[in-house]
Amino acid sequence: MSNAIQVRGLKKNYGSHGVLKGLDLQIKAGEIFALLGVNGAGKTTALECMEGLRKYDSGMVAVNGKMGIQLQSASLSAHIKPMEAVKLFAKWNKAKPDYGMLDALSIKEMEKKQYFQLSTGQKRRLHLALALISDPDIIFLDEPTAGLDVEGRLSLHEQIRKLKSRGKTIVLASHDMAEVETLCDRIAILNDGNIVFCGTASELTDKVGKKYFIHIKTQQGNNTFETDNIEDTLLSLLGELKRKGAHVLDIKVDRGTLEQHFIEMARRAEE
C-alpha cells in the first residue's frame, strides 16, 4: 500500500518550547489513522503542519493527494445558512456539491437555520461537509466528535466508515479512546513532541504487556483480576470461589481497553 502522507524529522518550536521534536510518520493510503496524546502533546500542531496550515521549523512533510480539513475549532459567519456555505466553498473549489454526501450528513435538514442557530453536532456535520466538498483523497479530522451526543457520535462514525470504504485516507486526532479503538486501523501516540508508539491497537496491547483482565460477577459483587497467565489464574480463582461457596453469575476475559494501554504508554514515556 502506498503512503498518503510521509513525515520525516518534523520539528516545531513555539519560542523556546519544542512542541514537535523530530516526528517520523508514514500514513498509508486508505487507512484510518489516529493521533493520540494528552492535552499539549502536539497533536493539533502536528496535524496543522501536515495540512500546510502551520509552518514548521525543520523536517519534511509529503502529502500525496487532495486534502479536506475539518478543524478542531471552526466557525462561520453567524448568519450564513448551511447550503449557502456549501455553495460558496464548492464554487471556490470548482466542485459540484455531492448531494448524496450532504443527505447523509443531514445538511438539507438544517438548511433554513442560520449558523448561530445550529447545535454543536450540526456545526460539526456542516464543517465535515465543507471538508468533503472537493472530494479529497485525504481527510483530516481534529477531534471530530468533541461535544457531540451519543447519536451524533455514532452517525459521524458511520460517515467516517463510509469514507474509508470509498478508499479515502482519514487522519484523526482524538481524545476518545473508544472511538479510536472502534474506527482506526493504526494509531500513533504522541508524548511531549515525540511519537512513543505507532502501530495497530493489538500491537499496542502486545507492547504494553500480555495482561489479561478477568471480570467475575458473583452474588457478593463484581471483581476484576489482572494476570499474565490466564489459564492458571482462572482455574485458581474458580477453585477458590467454589471453596467459599460463591455462586458465579458471569465471567468475562479481555485484554484491557485502549485507554488503559494509552495510560500505561504515557506513564512509561514519563519514566
Out of 1, 39, 78, 151, name the contact with another protein by CB under 8 A. 78
CA atoms within a 13 Å half-sphere pointing along the CA-CB vector of 4: 22
The C-alpha torsion from 11 through 14 and 18 to 20, rounded to 10°, is -40
Out of 38, 88, 238, 263, name the contact with another protein by CB under 8 A. 88
Q: How far is the CB of 173 from another protein (least distance, A)?
A: 14
Q: For residue 169, which of 139, 191, 192 has the smallest C-alpha distance?
A: 139
From 125-133, 191-199, 244-252, 257-265, span contacting another protein (CB under 8 A): 125-133
28-57 positions binding another protein, by CB under 8 A: 51, 53
* Residue 108 grid cell: 438539507
Q: How far is the CB of 78 from another protein (least distance, A)?
A: 7
Whose grid coordinates read 480463582? 237
Determine if 92 is a binding residue for another protein (CB under 8 A): yes
Out of 24, 31, 84, 181, name the contact with another protein by CB under 8 A. 84
Determine the 3-state secondary structure of 35 from DSSP. Answer: strand
Determine if 119 is a binding residue for another protein (CB under 8 A): no
Determine if 15 is a binding residue for another protein (CB under 8 A): no
Determine if 127 is a binding residue for another protein (CB under 8 A): yes
Task: Decide: residue 270, CB within 10 A, 0-12 exposed, 13-18 middle, 19+ buried.
Answer: exposed
Q: How far is the CB of 121 from another protein (least distance, A)?
A: 17
Determine the 3-state secondary structure of 259 from DSSP. Answer: helix
Determine if 258 is a binding residue for another protein (CB under 8 A): no
What is the maximal distance between C-alpha atoms in the chain?
74
Q: Where does residue 167 fall: left (phi above 0), alpha (psi -120 to 50 degrees), or beta otherwise?
A: left
Out of 77, 200, 220, 222, name the contact with another protein by CB under 8 A. 77
Positions touching another protein (CB under 8 A) are 51, 53, 68-69, 71, 73-80, 84, 87-89, 91-93, 114, 127, 130-131, 133-134
